[in-house]
Every structure is written in structure tokens, then in C-alpha cells.
Amino acid sequence: MDWIFQSQSWLALITLMILEIILGIDNIIFISISVSNLPRHKRNWARSLGLILAMFTRIALLLSITWVMKLTTPLFTIFSEQISGRDIILIGGGVFLLTKSTFEIHNTIESPEEKEKKKISSKTMLGVLIQIALIDIIFSLDSVITAIGMAQQVEIMVIAIMGAVVVMMFASKPIGEFVDAHPTIKMLALSFLVLIGVAIIAEGLDMHIPKGYIYFAMAFSFTVELMNMKLRGKKEVAPVS
């Protein structure tokens, strides 16, 4: 516990916590969209459980650092491309995210009659949590590898992850409700989940796409859509001459 008295360790903790929150943005978007298929009174509970699952997944991976490092060992080669266990997980997760996002886009733009049919067989809490748990494993790899690269003490990594999840638990409800209330924002979020899915698959094939580009595109598109929403609001309240 000597790290408590070292300013460098506290700086690493704060920096790592901020990075964990940034890396968790795509996770929050996925969770918000997944729980939107549940009855409204179950959504907050599902969001909290989903983020708790994410926290335990990341901590479990941290406590098995040796296994995480071995995931980069090549298992076989396809078309001169070495494939490791980490690559398989990333490619599989990217395909899952692409499929999930595509189906959600279809459900968002389908006719009201079809939506009513879907509501009859709405998803269960368990089904949503299983989806969240599966995708959490994929999203956790980046954050765990980042944590391993930035800090030497496991305690700092665990505290940073727990702190980031607490912050995300407070942020997930307003973000989820905002996405639910604005269909265009939900479509933007789904589009970026598709983009993140492609980036994850590319990462599994050793073609690194910096996440900064994706987050910049998300922030830029979100800002433009907020301006459009404000403009539409002004037109609605403008007096008819």
C-alpha cells in the first residue's frame, strides 16, 4: 500500500480513471440501446446490472493478467495473417456488434405495425443481460490492456475501474433517456456502434484504427444533431404569419 503516499501513483490513478470512462462511452451506448427494448420500469435496473457486470468482467480480467498477455500468442495463420486468441475474441465481438446494431437499426425504422408485433414478444431482462455480458468482454479488453500499460499496481487498476463504473452508473440513465427520447440520436448511436464494430474487427486483423478518430466523429455528429434539434425547436415555436 506504499503507492498511497506517492503522488505519481495518484496521477496514474486519476489519468487511468478518465481513460476508463472514455473507453466506456461505447459500452454505455450499447447498454442504453439494449435496455430500450425492456419495459420502462426495468430499464434503470438493467443499466445498473449491466455496468456492474462490466466492472466485474474488467476486474476478473485484471486478476488474470498472465492469461490476458498470453492471448496475444499466435495460434494459427490465415493468408499470412497470424491469429491469436485476442484476435478471435475481437473479430467475434465485432461481428456480434455489427449484427446487433443492424437489427436494431431495422427495428428503429420499421413500420408501427411491425413494432407493435415486436412488443408482444419483448426481450427478457436475462436475455438483455446476457448480450451485455458478452459485449462487455470485448469492450473490456481495450480498457484492461490500457490499465496494464499505465499502472504497475493492481490496486490502482481495480480502483480506477471501480471509480469509472460508478461515474458511468450516474451518467447511463440520463444518456439512455436522452437516446430513447430522440430517434435521430438513437440512429446516430447505432451508426457509431456499426463503426465501432468495424474498428474492433480491424483490430483483430492487426489493422489499428485510432479510437480518437471515432470519438471525434461521434462528438462532431452529435454536436451537429444538437444544433439541428435546436433549430427544429425554434421553427416549432415560431409564430405563423
Helix-helix angle 25-35:154-181, to 10 degrees = 50
Whether residue 114 is contained in a domain is answered as yes
Whether residue 241 is contained in a domain is answered as no
Whether residue 240 is contained in a domain is answered as no
Which runs of E-coded beta strand occur in 18-115? Answer: 74-78, 81-84
Whether residue 234 is contained in a domain is answered as no
Whether residue 21 is contained in a domain is answered as yes
Domain that holds residue 174: 2-229
The answer to whether 25 touches 175, Cβ cutoff 8 Å, is no
Backbone phi, then psi, for 122, in 5-degree steps? -65, 155
Whether residue 52 is contained in a domain is answered as yes
* Grid coordinates of 34: 439494449
Q: Tell me the C-alpha to C-alpha distance, in Å, between residue 170 and each of 51, 56, 165, 167.
A: 10, 18, 9, 5
CA-to-CA distance for 215 and 105, rounded, in angstroms? 20
- Which segments of the chain have a pLDDT < 50? 116-117, 119-122
Closest to 142 in 3D by CA, of 127, 164, 126: 164
What three-state secondary structure class fits 37? coil
pLDDT, position 102: 84
Whether residue 235 is contained in a domain is answered as no
Whether residue 239 is contained in a domain is answered as no
Number of structural domains the chain divides into: 1
pLDDT, position 40: 79
